[in-house]
Chains A and B, each alone.
Chain A
Amino acid sequence: MTPERKESIVRNWYKFSAGGASVVGLIIVIVIIILAIFAPIIAPYPEDAGAVVKFSESKLPPSSKHLMGTDTMGRDVFSRLLFSLKGTLLMGVLVLAISVPIGFIVGVLAGYYRDTWIETVLMRIVDIFLSVPALVLALAIASIMEPNLRNSMIAITIMWWPWYARLTFGVVSSLRTENYITYAELTGAGLGHIIVKEFLPNTIDQILTKMTLDIGYVIIMGATLSFAGLGEQPPIPALGNMINDGVKFLPDMWWLTIFPAVTIILIVLGFNLVGDGVGNIFNVEGN
């Protein structure tokens, strides 16, 4: 590692960790990732992630044997919760991994060809997507497909990319008139060079910041779909359908609802704190 590289890592860590909250967020995120990966090892009752029925142990409150109690079928809530983390994180990461590049390309083309028909066509399509409330659109898309995790991800991706298209469009259309873009054109650089070497490095800070903040929102959206029965189907555990199962038994069996809900809150909080820290590195205002 070169000294400059080391220095820049130290500097970025300093900016990231200023205030301490982002470090707490990072720890939460790392712990959740570890729990998600090692769920089969950590979970006390790994078999409970499936369709298991143990009536003898059903509806038990939290105890040393069942940390978060058991559900109506006698399955350990803690074990099910650990198994649901993987799908939850996958949701956040995959949705963004697909929607951000699509949004970036649409936005950068519309911004670069500003004031031409290309911008009009692309941005009006974006506007159509943005004009429908996000959750309604996702529910509509998810409901016409077979309900499972993959299809709920597709539904969220379809409604998520326009936000990145608009963000990129805003940044690029103001960079468009910068002299260095003209200069790149003058040296004979092609469209690919201009997008990858000129626009991307000047847009990446905004995109990364929004991405880290967005993971949390995508996860909430995914949980909402799953709560509505459009995500992962029982008996496979997901935070949303676990809450949905437990709602019927509130307030008596509070542990069925509270623990998954708190988990969602923790995940979103963790990612948002990390997002703020990333924003501090790039000096971008978080939302």
Chain B
Amino acid sequence: METNNNILEIKDLSVSYTVANVVTHVLEKVNLTVPKGKSVGLVGESGCGKTTTMRAILGVLPSNANIESGEILFNGTDVLKMPYNQLQEFRQTGAGLIFQDPSSALNPVISIKKQFLTSLKYAHKDKNYSSAQLYDKAIEALNAVSLADPKRIMNSFPFQLSGGMRQRVCIAMTLAGEKELLLADEPGTALDVTIQDQILRLIKNLVETLDLSVIMVTHSLGVIRQVTTEVNVMYAGSIVEGGDTHQVFEHPSHPYTIALMDCLPKLTGTGISEGIPGRIPDYDHPPAGCRFYPRCTYALDRCKSEVPGKTIVEDDHWVACFAAEEGKVCPK
């Protein structure tokens, strides 16, 4: 069975938010697969639904979100239909999330030590570690994210640490959980590049040594290229291109992916690129056809009313675009 190789499979997930009685369709039929022991990238502009996808996987969407359709299969079980106990079990040992903004992810009136040990106690509950062992594990994890003097940090309260330190504490907490699936929602965006690099290495290392699977969410194409083996490009709530990271980077086929890559500042210093004109569509009234249509330079007439299906570009690389299907998209 195919599902045996995939730790996570998202099928046709649609999520909408109700804001002041207006339904905004944010995620539109998202399909995402994470093979066991692989790291998969999810890349896209701000507001395209990356974080919503991550939250949907763990069932912590805001209360005004509605899951309209779809399945999220974790090792073959639908997370959306799990009873509360099983969902709790899944969160304890199955999947962990590194927050986009972890500086507020720590309870301000409880010491780091208590919070760290509680979270580890849940994550390793079937391994019967003593609290001294858990403490050592915590110290080790804090060392791994290059926090100096981990013992002092353990005895501190969150407000005694700087934003970057808090972020690293959160990353350490999630990584030390050693859960099967790690959802990294822009890890290290607020950290300086050397530490960010170190954390990415750490994640990569964990994937290799502990056979973890990772979904790496980021706007940074560089991170994707460095860390992941597969990539999914998301635009306005749907995935428009996906496949093997190497192939996608070599032959980007969706106009959006191409434009996104053009936006990267080059070290050669050829000036600032033109960017992508326009902005992410209004989710209240998204375009009926391809959601990228209003901004697309290759737009065809049928793009306006029809949603493009998957077209295979290479053996492990697909794209959802009519222009690409007809061979009209050619990267510069």
Partner of B105, one of A177, A179, A189: A179
In the complex, the answer to whether A189 meets B122 with C-beta atoms within 8 Å is yes
Q: Interface digits, B122-154 against A, CB 8 Å rule (1 contact, 0 not)?
A: 110000000000000000000000000000000
Distance in Å from the Cβ of B140 to the closest Cβ of chain A? 18
Interface range for A? 20 to 34
Partner of B99, one of A114, A115, A179: A179
A197 within 8 A of B: yes
Q: Which residues of A contact B110 (CB under 8 A)?
A: 197, 201
Name the residue on B nearest A199 (C-beta).
Answer: B107
Interface residues of B in 55-112 (CB under 8 A from A): 58, 60, 62-64, 88-93, 96-97, 99, 101-102, 104-110
Interface residues of A in 112-160 (CB under 8 A from B): 114-116
In the complex, the answer to whether A179 meets B88 with C-beta atoms within 8 Å is no
Name the residue on B nearest A116 (C-beta).
Answer: B63
Mostly helix, strand, loop or mixed at chain A's interface?
helix
Q: Which residues of B contact A201 (CB under 8 A)?
A: 107, 109-110
Q: Which residues of A contact B93 (CB under 8 A)?
A: 188
In the complex, the answer to whether B102 meets A187 with C-beta atoms within 8 Å is no
In the complex, the answer to whether A202 meets B118 with C-beta atoms within 8 Å is no
In the complex, the answer to whether B60 meets A114 with C-beta atoms within 8 Å is no
In the complex, the answer to whether A115 meets B64 with C-beta atoms within 8 Å is yes
In the complex, the answer to whether A185 meets B91 with C-beta atoms within 8 Å is yes
Q: Which residues of A contact B101 (CB under 8 A)?
A: 179
Name the residue on A nearest B96 (C-beta).
Answer: A186
Distance in Å from the Cβ of A178 to the closest Cβ of chain B? 6
A55 within 8 A of B: no
Q: Which residues of A contact B62 (CB under 8 A)?
A: 177
In the complex, the answer to whether A187 meets B104 with C-beta atoms within 8 Å is no
Q: Which residues of A contact B170 (CB under 8 A)?
A: 183
Q: Which of A179, A184, A198 has the most CB of B within 10 A?
A: A179
Interface residues of A in 177-219 (CB under 8 A from B): 177-180, 182-190, 193, 197-198, 201-202
- Bound-state Cα–Cα, A33 to B109, Å: 32
Distance in Å from the Cβ of B214 to the closest Cβ of chain A? 16
In the complex, the answer to whether A190 meets B88 with C-beta atoms within 8 Å is yes
Q: Which residues of B contact A114 (CB under 8 A)?
A: 63
Q: Which residues of A contact B92 (CB under 8 A)?
A: 187-188
Task: A115-B63, A190-B88, A198-B107 are known; give 17 further A-B pairs, CB within 8 A.
Answer: A177-B62, A178-B104, A179-B99, A180-B107, A180-B108, A183-B105, A184-B107, A186-B97, A187-B91, A187-B92, A188-B88, A188-B91, A188-B93, A188-B122, A201-B110, A202-B107, A202-B108
Q: Which residues of A contact B96 (CB under 8 A)?
A: 186-187
Q: Which residues of A contact B90 (CB under 8 A)?
A: 188
Partner of A183, one of B63, B88, B99, B123: B99
Interface residues of A in 74-105 (CB under 8 A from B): none
In the complex, the answer to whether B118 meets A189 with C-beta atoms within 8 Å is yes
B33 within 8 A of A: no
Query: Could you pull out 22 A-B pairs where Cβ atoms are within 8 angstroms?
Result: A116-B63, A177-B62, A179-B99, A179-B101, A179-B102, A179-B105, A180-B105, A183-B99, A184-B107, A185-B60, A186-B58, A186-B91, A186-B96, A186-B97, A187-B118, A187-B123, A188-B89, A188-B123, A190-B88, A193-B118, A201-B107, A201-B109
Q: Interface digits, B302-328 against A, CB 8 Å rule (1 contact, 0 not)?
A: 000000000000000000000000000
- Bound-state Cα–Cα, A185 to B97, Å: 11
B242 within 8 A of A: no
List A residues at the B interface (Cβ < 8 Å): 114-116, 177-180, 182-190, 193, 197-198, 201-202
- Bound-state Cα–Cα, A114 to B89, Å: 24
In the complex, the answer to whether B97 meets A179 with C-beta atoms within 8 Å is no
Interface residues of B in 278-311 (CB under 8 A from A): none
In the complex, the answer to whether A187 meets B119 with C-beta atoms within 8 Å is yes
Q: Which residues of B contact A202 (CB under 8 A)?
A: 107-109
Name the residue on A nearest B88 (C-beta).
Answer: A188
Contact A180/B60 with A186-B91, A188-B91, A188-B93 known, Cβ cut-off 8 Å: no
- Bound-state Cα–Cα, A183 to B104, Å: 10
In the complex, the answer to whether A187 meets B107 with C-beta atoms within 8 Å is no
- Bound-state Cα–Cα, A180 to B104, Å: 6
Q: Which residues of B contact A185 (CB under 8 A)?
A: 60, 91
Distance in Å from the Cβ of A18 to the closest Cβ of chain B? 22
Q: Which residues of A contact B119 (CB under 8 A)?
A: 187
Q: Which residues of B contact A177 (CB under 8 A)?
A: 62
- Bound-state Cα–Cα, A179 to B158, Å: 13
- Bound-state Cα–Cα, A219 to B64, Å: 44
Distance in Å from the Cβ of B35 to the closest Cβ of chain A? 23
Q: Which residues of B contact A193 (CB under 8 A)?
A: 118
Distance in Å from the Cβ of B228 to the closest Cβ of chain A? 22
Q: Which of A114, A177, A180, A197 has the most CB of B within 10 A?
A: A180
Q: Which residues of B contact A179 (CB under 8 A)?
A: 99, 101-102, 104-105
- Bound-state Cα–Cα, A202 to B158, Å: 14
B177 within 8 A of A: yes
Q: Which residues of B contact A180 (CB under 8 A)?
A: 104-108
Q: Which residues of B contact A182 (CB under 8 A)?
A: 60, 99, 105
Q: Which residues of A contact B123 (CB under 8 A)?
A: 187-188
List 10 tightest A-B contacts by C-beta distance, closest first.
A188-B92, A188-B91, A179-B105, A187-B119, A179-B104, A183-B105, A180-B107, A201-B109, A188-B122, A115-B63
